[in-house]
A and B are shown apart, each in its own frame.
Chain A
Amino acid sequence: MKLSIEALVSGYGVVDVLHGVSIEIAEGEVVAVIGPNGAGKSTLLRTISGMVAARSGTIRYEGSEIGSLTSSEIPRLGLVHVPEARHVFGRLTVEQNLVVGASAAPAGTNRKDALAEVYDLFPMLGQKARDLAGGLSGGQQQMLAIGRALMARPSMIMLDEPSLGLAPLVVEQMYEALDGLRRTGLTILLVEQDVYMALDFARRAYVLENGGIALAGASAALVNDDHVRRSYLGI
């Protein structure tokens, strides 16, 4: 297993948000987590990447326990997190953002090659390399956030609501790029409020409700599931 999580409990302050979540993702798999707002989808990703400390349970990445590592150590293992709302460094240029993203790259990585690959995936970033990231549109910032994460040369990426607030055409462009990434064998864990999009992109999905896994299965099966259709697809 690339990532396996067992009975994970986590939260903020006195409140537990996740009450014993278990998920598994195989090498090269694309898995989505869907669910209503407040179900704990973002908290799940934040706990995996070390931004929030797990209260109990285990998080194993490539076989080793990573629950006690900090959020700057975990990306060095090749597991990167693109958080919700993008968080690009607005006062840095596009290229400087990407270079900061390479801080977690393995030693000996050629930064120029990594940049060239990101510019190849998102040509817009290459055209705007010297522009301040704060001046980019929402869609461009999302692509920058993904590009910045890829600079760490990851083998697994976690995306939190990449389509949030973006125009449909931009969402389509972005998923085309993500499709290219999937074909390179990158393992992807996707949290998405656009359930159609998520089930279309991922082969398998978990439905997270009230901090626990309510349902799991192949995307094709979930699309036809009564509960999913009623609650998330509005059919």
Chain B
Amino acid sequence: MSIELLLQAAVSGFLMGGIYALIALALALAFGVMGVLNFAHGDLLMVGMYGVVLICASTSVSPFLAGVLMVPAMMAIGWVVFVLFIRPVVGAAPLVQAQLTIGLSFVIQSAALLWFGADLFNVRTELGASTIRLGAIVVSMPLLIGFVVALVASGLLAWFLSATVWGYRIRATAEDPVMAQLCGVPVRRVQRWVFVGATGSLAIAAGCLMGFYHVTPVVGLQFSVLSLMIVVLGGLGDLRGAMVAALAFGVAEALASAIFNSASAPAGLYILFGAALLLRPHGLLGRGATI
């Protein structure tokens, strides 16, 4: 095991972590504002990934652009999912919310299986196998572009939340919805738009992933579990913590798969997750809610 190989894995993992960050940020934001932990989050991402495949198959755009083009469609899906499923369980018992969103996850998975079959889809691009060299490290071009696109999207989201009036209102709603309402913030409308926006941002993440990744009806579960772990590790409701946790997860996953083998990479993640929870029960930055 050479140092170069580990460094190589760490860099690739970090880049992947940037895409995880965007996915987890969307989940953390929706959870923060409505208190519903959405177990179908990864499945909505999977819908976006199939959308990107369809766009790329019928046009010649890159998957990254296809992701951006998918945003309005994903926002519309987010709207429907919010109105039909999420809004009725805002404020309900956590178990009811979990049952509902897990059920939704199965429905989306089964629908994808009926529609697309169990085959693995990916997007072939000219960039596909191209790489750039940074000294001894070789970086896959699609992964690098995906990282940059996800970073820009996360940055825009962070800017929106920290520097605009609606951003303040969203954060106020996340912190104390009753008081936000008393300040005249239309809390229900904020919740709906946050869910719609979070689902829309999954389209961007889907585009980033499809530059180099594949989609099957079951990838959703993997991303749901991953982003739930990231959000919990970052500290429930702490967006900056979620960013840090996503990058840490990307690196840990890549290192585990380089040192052992790719099948054991998830085990590495669960060990990291368990250890971090024991040591920092309020999240990596120590600012989240109690679990």
Contacts and interface: CB of A to CB of B under 8 A. Distances in A.
Interface centre among A72, A90, A101, A105 (most CB of B within 10 A): A72
B144 interface: no
B192 interface: no
A152 B178 contact: no
B169 interface: yes
B184 A92 contact: no
B184 A89 contact: no
B236 to A, nearest CB: 13
A154 B226 CA distance: 47
B179 A72 contact: no
A148 B179 CA distance: 11
Interface string A68-95: 0011100110001101000101111000
Interface range, A side: 20 to 34
A104 B183 CA distance: 6
A65 B179 CA distance: 23
A129 interface: no
B175 A104 contact: no
Contacts of A91: 171, 175
B241 to A, nearest CB: 12
A80 B180 CA distance: 12
Given A89-B171, A89-B172, A96-B168, A103 B183 contact: yes
A92 B172 contact: yes
A70 B182 CA distance: 9
Nearest to B164: A99
A141 interface: no
B168 A72 contact: no
Interface string A42-57: 0000000101000000
Contacts of A121: none
A152 B181 CA distance: 13
A222 interface: no
B274 interface: no
A49 B182 contact: yes
A220 to B, nearest CB: 33
Nearest to A86: B179
A96 B165 CA distance: 8
A103 B187 contact: no
Nearest to B185: A103
A96 B171 CA distance: 10
Nearest to A70: B181
Contacts of B185: 72, 100, 103
Q: At the interface, is chain B mostly helix, strand, loop or mixed? A: helix
B186 interface: yes
Contacts of B119: none
B176 interface: yes
A48 to B, nearest CB: 12
Contact of B183 (A51, A70, A148): A148
B169 A103 contact: yes
B182 A92 contact: no
A42 to B, nearest CB: 13
B182 A100 contact: no
A75 B187 CA distance: 14
B178 A100 contact: no
Contact of B172 (A76, A100, A104): A100
Contact of B184 (A90, A97, A104): A104
B171 A72 contact: no
Nearest to B174: A91
A18 B168 CA distance: 36
19 contacts: A51-B178, A71-B178, A75-B184, A76-B184, A83-B179, A87-B176, A89-B172, A89-B180, A91-B171, A92-B168, A92-B172, A96-B171, A100-B168, A100-B172, A101-B183, A103-B183, A104-B184, A152-B183, A152-B184
Given A89-B175, A103-B183, A104-B184, 16 more contacts: A51-B182, A71-B178, A71-B181, A72-B184, A72-B185, A72-B187, A83-B179, A87-B178, A89-B172, A89-B179, A90-B175, A91-B171, A92-B171, A100-B169, A103-B169, A148-B183
Interface of A: 49, 51, 70-72, 75-76, 80-81, 83, 87, 89-92, 96-97, 99-101, 103-105, 148, 152
Q: Which 3 A-B pairs have the closest CB atoms?
A: A104-B184, A103-B184, A87-B179
